[in-house]
């Protein structure tokens, strides 16, 4: 309701185009650190499990843009920020986790009353301590850094009738949910992009040509402006999001009685009542041949300038839709694109004997994951 709208309005300025431009340099530095580590350690490139590697990159990006902390998780593999992130996102679909999910959904107040949590207490305390120390240091030293923590501090100090007084827990919660939402999903998107580029060498060659063209125009550097002009990059990422949406379904809570028209001639209408939960099966929409012919084929041309306007509204929902669509979609796209661009500059992505193609999904995971993990090889290019 109103409290959600207030929080959304507080956070939205963090994700405007101007803020993305500011964050680009921070992301680009993380991307360079990541790729340079791989260049300097060819022994890890023969067969690399990309999920573990890309999680480290995603950790570094979120640490610097949301928490104001510089981390290099490839050079320092056991840093606490990364370890706590892994702990927080271990969501395997075991009996205990399923029981927790059902209890949280059916009896949220009771679950809260008995102190039930998805996260280990030490993980919760770690993120709370980081945010608390960051706020304290900024207040004492007058540090202003246009990131999420700064915006939340401004919201905390806001006065007025009807304004929810933000607590430290509110600030920690928002910073943490940003970490949680952007850590696993962004890393998974990067894995699927890398997988499809390794499997489809023609797509990879064409994308590298586009990257090289912008590198040549920018004195071997990729700028925020040049990245946003990479049309084929956008097509490749969009098609990856279609084929492998980060969330296979989303849910929405009805707040007002509504009559849905018949889905097809001869069917009945449906009345949706307040407090009804609606599930939207994104994966099923994205793989429906009625909307996307030959849906199992990886075809970036679906999102070409000529074709993308033919996609029916609300059949392509990688980040949800409407007022509650993913607030960080620009952020996720930018950190993925800059990493892929830097990887293609230095490496050719190839399949290995461990690469699973076509992908067989692990049924014990909440998100789309191949059995045995994401495996490719990176062959260093002569540049």
What are the sequence ranges of the domains in the chain? 1-247+328-380
pLDDT at 276: 94
Which pLDDT tens digit goes with each residue over 36-62?
A: 999 999 999 999 999 999 999 999 999
Which pLDDT tens digit goes with each residue over 211-226?
A: 999 999 888 899 999 9
Residue 210 is inside which H or E element, if any? helix 201-217
User: Who contacts 217 (Cβ-Cβ below 8 Å, separation ≥6)?
Assistant: 226
* CA distances from residue 132 to 147, 169, 177 in whole angstroms, order as listed: 15, 10, 16
How many residues does the structure list for the chain? 383
Question: DSSP character for 164?
Answer: -
pLDDT at 92: 58
Contacts by residues 308-314 (CB-CB < 8 Å, ≥ 24 positions apart): 308/238, 314/285
376 beta partners: 48
In terms of Cβ atoms closer than 10 Å to its own Cβ (0-12, 13-18, 19+), residue 162 is: exposed
Report helix, strand and coil shares of the chain as percent, to nearest 5. 55, 10, 35
The pairing of strands 258-260 and 347-350 is unpaired
Task: Say whether 107 counts as a known binding-site residue.
Answer: no
pTM above 0.75, yes or no: yes
Please work out, in degrees rounded to the nearest 5, the angle formed at the alpha carbon of residue 367 by the alpha carbons of 280 and 325.
Answer: 45
User: Who contacts 14 (Cβ-Cβ below 8 Å, separation ≥6)?
Assistant: 147, 148, 151
Q: What is the DSSP string of 62-96?
A: HHHHHS-----TTTSTT-HHHHHHHHHT--B--HH
Domain range 1-247+328-380, its CATH number among 3.40.50.300, 2.60.40.1220, 3.30.565.10, 1.10.630.10? 1.10.630.10
- Where residue 17 falls among pLDDT bands split at 50, 70, 90? confident
Question: DSSP character for 381?
Answer: P
Percent of all residues in the chain with a pLDDT value above 90, rounded to a whole number: 61
Which pLDDT tens digit goes with each residue over 153-178?
A: 887 887 776 667 788 888 888 888 88
Residue 173: CB atoms within 10 A of its CB come to 17
């Amino acid at each position: 309701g109103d409290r959600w709208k207030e929080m959304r309005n507080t956070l939205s300025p963090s994700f405007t185009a101007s803020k993305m431009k500011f964050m680009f340099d921070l992301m680009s530095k993380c991307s360079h650190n990541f790729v340079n580590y791989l260049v300097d350690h060819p022994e890890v490139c023969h067969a690399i499990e990309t999920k573990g590697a890309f999680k480290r990159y995603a950790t570094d990006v979120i640490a610097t843009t949301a928490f104001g902390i510089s981390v290099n998780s490839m050079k320092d593999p056991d840093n606490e920020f990364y370890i706590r992130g892994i702990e927080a996102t271990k969501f395997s679909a075991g009996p205990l986790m399923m029981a927790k999910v059902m209890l949280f959904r059916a009896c949220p107040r009771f679950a809260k009353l008995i102190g039930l949590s998805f996260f280990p207490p030490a993980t919760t305390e770690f993120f709370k301590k980081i945010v608390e120390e960051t706020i304290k240091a900024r207040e004492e030293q007058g540090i202003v850094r246009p990131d999420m923590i700064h915006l939340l501090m401004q919201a905390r100090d806001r006065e007025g009738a009807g304004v929810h007084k933000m607590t430290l827990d509110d600030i920690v919660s928002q910073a943490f949910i940003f970490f949680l939402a952007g850590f696993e999903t962004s890393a998974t998107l990067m894995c699927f992009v890398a997988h499809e580029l390794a499997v489809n060498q023609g797509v990879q060659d064409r994308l590298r040509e586009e990257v090289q063209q912008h590198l040549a125009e920018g004195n071997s550097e990729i700028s925020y402006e040049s990245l946003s002009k990479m049309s084929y990059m956008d097509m490749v990422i969009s098609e990856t999001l279609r084929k492998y949406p980060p969330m296979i379904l989303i849910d929405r809570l009805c707040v007002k009685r509504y009559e849905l028209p018949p889905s097809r001639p001869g069917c009945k209408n449906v009345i949706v009542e307040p407090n009804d939960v609606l599930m939207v099966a994104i994966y099923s929409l994205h793989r429906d041949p009625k909307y996307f012919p030959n849906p199992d084929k990886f075809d970036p041309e679906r999102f070409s300038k000529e074709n993308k306007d033919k996609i029916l509204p609300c059949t392509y929902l990688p980040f949800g839709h409407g007022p509650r669509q993913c607030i960080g979609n620009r952020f996720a796209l930018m950190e993925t694109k800059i990493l892929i661009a830097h990887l293609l500059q230095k490496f050719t992505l190839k399949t290995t004997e461990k690469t699973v193609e076509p992908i067989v999904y692990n049924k014990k995971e909440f998100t789309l994951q191949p059995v045995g993990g994401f495996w490719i090889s990176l062959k260093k290019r002569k540049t």
